Amino acid sequence: MKRIASAGIFASALLSAPAASAQDTLTSWDQYLSFLGQSCVLDTLGLQSKMMAGMMARHGAGMTERDDRDGMDFYDHPNGTTLELSATNEEVRCRVVIPPTALAPAGFESLHAGLAEEIGYKVSPDSLDTVTDDGSTEWVYDGTKDNRMTVRFSLLDDGGASIEAQSSLKR
């Protein structure tokens, strides 16, 4: 009960706060790293997680919801970045695509390094599986909610990047 009340208070605070101006958001790798932590790499399960991530995308990153179909929410940022979110009681999925024009090439390298560092802070090295191949890195580790986390960072052929995250109930 306490958890639901605190989530409601948090949501109310988000909704009453002024929305971020899209021009002031997602302009640097560190802003992307913060955005990913709030709206994509979610160590939770369930529909409420997707709803909170969507609110963070709208109010924290200045994104606009483009579509909501078949349990999937689609968001756009004026710089071309897209966010896709879906959730069930057993998993939360996210995909962010960052166009090559949103960051300088060094920004994509810094975002990759920052994401690896953030995950490294959360997970002990002996419980983290990391696979790197042809411009992509995948991290797999146990979450904190009896879930398994998978995060994949991929450089795209056009010079942009894709970040996919999934939190799934352990089986």
CA 39 to chain centre: 4
Angle at which helices 2-16 and 47-61 cross, to 10°: 20
More confident of the two residues 11 and 133: 133
- Going by pLDDT thresholds of 50, 70 and 90, the confidence category of residue 20 is low
Predicted pLDDT at 11: 45
By C-alpha distance, which of 99, 94, 106 is closest to 26?
Answer: 99
pLDDT reading at 9 higher than 80: no
* The residue to which tokens 């109310």 are assigned: 12
By C-alpha distance, which of 56, 63, 70 is closest to 17?
Answer: 56
Average pLDDT of span 140-166: 95
- pTM, to two decimals: 0.85
pLDDT reading at 72 higher than 80: yes
By C-alpha distance, which of 132, 163, 128 is closest to 143?
Answer: 128
Average pLDDT of span 4-15: 46
Q: What span, in angstroms and rounded, lies between the C-alpha atoms of 121 and 125?
A: 9
Average pLDDT of span 94-117: 95
Q: What is the DSSP letter of 24?
A: G
Average pLDDT of span 50-68: 92
Among residues of the chain, what percentage have pLDDT more than 70? 86
- Going by pLDDT thresholds of 50, 70 and 90, the confidence category of residue 133 is very high
Average pLDDT of span 143-171: 94
Average pLDDT of span 35-43: 93
Q: What span, in angstroms and rounded, lies between the C-alpha atoms of 52 and 59?
A: 10
- Going by pLDDT thresholds of 50, 70 and 90, the confidence category of residue 7 is very low
* The residue to which tokens 């071309």 are assigned: 80
